[in-house]
Amino acid sequence: MDGVTLFNKLLAKRGQNPTSLAAAIKRPTAQSGFDRFKKGDIKQPRRTESFDLAARYLGVDALAFYDEDLAEREWARIEGNATEDAPTSAPPAPAPHADAGEVVIVQYEVSGGMDTRGKLLLEAEPPGVIKSWKVDREWLQLNVRSYTSLANLCIVTGFGPSMKGMFNPGDPLLMDRGVNRVDHEGVYFFRVGDEGYIKILQRVPEFNGPGFVLRVISKNKDDFPPYDISPMNPHLHIIGKILTVWKSEQY
């Protein structure tokens, strides 16, 4: 299924048209682009905040508009026919609040990254969760320099002892859900099968080949030594990249 077909199916299911969709996400100027996409005049939309907000409103991963396989999986999930091995995206989050320059960043539901089997198995359950932040755009500009789109920003609550030194369990982490592959070394939230991890991922050349492996690195290396995983592992799914962490200290 291509992105245009998925878009039209979602509009029909919601009883929407390009005009009402643009109004619903408070982006009236996006109506023309939605209309052209619906008609198939453009096969893949430009990655803009409006299309990201539309995807959230319609309840799918925005990348489904660009990836036929993901479009099929997202539609199957919505119709209730998702297979056990098909990864799904998080439930749609409220659109960022733009009034008076404010932005709402919501929690990433770890159950939303799973299939019909339920919740991710984490290294340790976080001691409570942070549901949302409301910040102004000036704070965002000063503290978050680069991200794929406003709609892809979400909060993950830190868990487990493996990353102590970078953050403590219960600390807030800002994640970009729009980064779903490892092009550069960084801290990522990912899953392998049912197991969820937050680790440093580093691209390392293969010893006897032209490709590379992903080295999984913990900050607490004494208790959690590094190991390698193939980026082609079918059970590996990059949920997002951690952009910023706030480390707590008890006094």
What does the domain layout of the chain look like in residue ranges?
3-78, 99-245
What's the DSSP call for residue 113? G
Nearest to 198 by CA among 231, 175, 223: 175
* Token duo for residue 205: 């050349």
Nearest to 112 by CA among 209, 196, 20: 196
* Token duo for residue 193: 């099968």
Nearest to 105 by CA among 130, 131, 132, 128: 132
Q: Which residue has the tokens 């409220």?
A: 94
Characterise 15 by phi-psi region: left (phi > 0), alpha (psi -120 to 50), beta (else).
left
Distance CA 47, CA 37 (A): 12
Nearest to 57 by CA among 92, 9, 12: 92
Provide the pLDDT for residue 174: 94
Distance CA 223, CA 48 (A): 42
Burial track 174-203 (b if 16+ CB lie within 10 A, e otherwise)? bbbbbbbebeeeebbbbbeeeebbbbbbbe
| Domain 3-78 listed as CATH 1.10.3470 | no
* Token duo for residue 110: 């770890």
Q: pLDDT tens for residues 74-122?
A: 888 777 644 433 343 444 444 444 445 678 888 887 654 444 345 678 8
Taking the alpha carbons at both ends of the chain, their separation in whole angstroms is 55
Provide the pLDDT for residue 55: 83
CATH of 99-245, one of 2.10.109.10, 1.20.120.80, 3.30.565.10, 2.40.128.20: 2.10.109.10
Torsions phi, psi for 26 (to 5 deg): 60, 40
CB 136 within 8 A of CB 103: yes
Provide the pLDDT for residue 176: 92
Low-confidence ranges of the chain (pLDDT < 70): 47, 80-101, 110-119, 209
**Is the pTM above the cut of 0.85?**
no
Q: pLDDT tens for residues 29-38?
A: 889 989 999 9
Nearest to 61 by CA among 151, 195, 194: 151
